[in-house]
Amino acid sequence: MKKIITILLIFVLSEGYGQKENFYNLLDSAKVLFKIERNFDQQELDSFNYYRIVELLNDAIKINPNNSEARYFLGYAYSRINSRDGRSMIAMNPELVIKSSEELEKVIKLSPKYNGEIVILDPYSKISAEWGSLAMSYWHNNKSDSAIWAFKEGKKRGGFGDFILELNKKVLDACSPNSILISSGDNFTIPLWYLQISQAYRTDVKVIDISLLNTKWYPNYLSKNNIIKFDLPNSVLDTMEYLSWKDSLITIGNFSWTVKPTYYEKYIFRGDRVFLSLLKQNRFEKDIFFTFGFSEDQRLNLTNHLTSSIIVDKVFTNKKPIINSEDYNNSMIQFLQLSKYLNKNSPDEIGLFEYFRYVLLLQVNEFISNHEKTKAKKLLDIMDKYANEIKFPFENEKNSKYVEYLRSKL
């Protein structure tokens, strides 16, 4: 009830602001509505009126058409109307995708390095997400030519940057033949789809989006198209919901591990149960990889059974493999060399690049702790050669100070 009263109050205030033609009040009202919806449950989200946000932002843009933040939020509002989450991805409306994309393209034109408030993705990544989701909608509905067109249109309009695509090529290349790659996040799943569908790149790797396993259409699609198999029939998968859960020992073949609750320490989500069904059917006969950046609870507590090759994590069911330091260094060089493709105007791309340097610094610290200063110095030399702080300043001041600290140790 308190939420409803708050929303009604904002609507009333917004009407007043609109009559006064006050740009910032209109924009701020729209942004507040966006923030409020983050706290809604699923039922409230499904009934939320995003058209009201569109009205506020269009009124604001009439006053100040060159404000990139208003256009950014308008692009997001059209996106929310089209598909609030993965459940409705397979029914994307092309007209709304175009409307969203056009606003985001204007943002890039007005402010190539957008520094306004971010909802989730920067304008470049959001264009990729819109067109990639439309492509998946076409692909799901057996319109492969339209899917390829949507991917190419997204790239033409400013999405699918070279850095993101080259990075995801490295992700696929790090996977063994015919393996399963569990992906998370729009800057991985959607570019991975782009590479496999529009460029036929490493199609032997089965890319599975972890979030979409929570939907009902996606597991069904994977199963019917023989992309992946589950140990339960579709009729059972369709009816799965979240479940009361306590720490449970799961055994698949000769491998056992403990799966903990993933929600409020007492439940697991529907997607977790579907993922577990996938693992049981596969029996780890095909290698399982994860893209980096997963939270612990998204990986069914397999963290202690993973080995990292920087860009992907691989599940090991026997003895943990030892990574050769030279192989590690060569892999790091490959990733840092992607800097030549980096769009310095994209906060998302810069954040991913920053991740590699942070991982490198953690490894340097580990070498120092193990009294392997020669190896530590070699890694820092690699960073200085391919991603030095002068050409690529750290976005996070803590990372810059961390480098100083490590150098002082050497």
Q: Which tens digits make up the pLDDT trace of 349-403? A: 999 999 889 999 999 999 999 999 999 999 999 999 999 888 898 888 888 899 9
The residue-averaged pLDDT of 108-125 equals 96
- What sign does the CA torsion over 91, 95, 100, 105 have? positive
Residue intervals of the chain classified under CATH 1.25.40.10 are 2-156
Amino acid 234: pLDDT: 86
Would you call 250 helix, strand, or coil by DSSP?
A: strand
- Cα separation of 352 and 292, whole Å? 10
Within its chain, how far is the Cα of 286 from the centroid? 24
Amino acid 8: pLDDT: 44
> Over the stretch 231-274, which tens digit does the pLDDT of each residue have?
998 888 888 888 899 999 999 999 999 999 988 888 999 999 99
Burial class (CB in 10 A: 0-12, 13-18, 19+), 288: buried
- Cα separation of 113 and 122, whole Å? 10
Pairing of strands 180-183, 206-209: parallel
Token pair belonging to 98: 């175009």
Sequence length of the chain is: 410
Assigned superfamily of 2-156: Tetratricopeptide repeat domain (1.25.40.10)
| Residue 319 backbone class (left: φ over 0; alpha: ψ -120 to 50; beta: rest) | beta
Geometric angle at alpha carbon 205, from 204 and 211, rounded to 5°: 145
Contact call for residues 71 and 79 (beta carbons, < 8 A): no
| Report field, pTM of the whole predicted structure over 0.85 | yes
Residue 168 clears pLDDT 80, i.e. is over it: yes
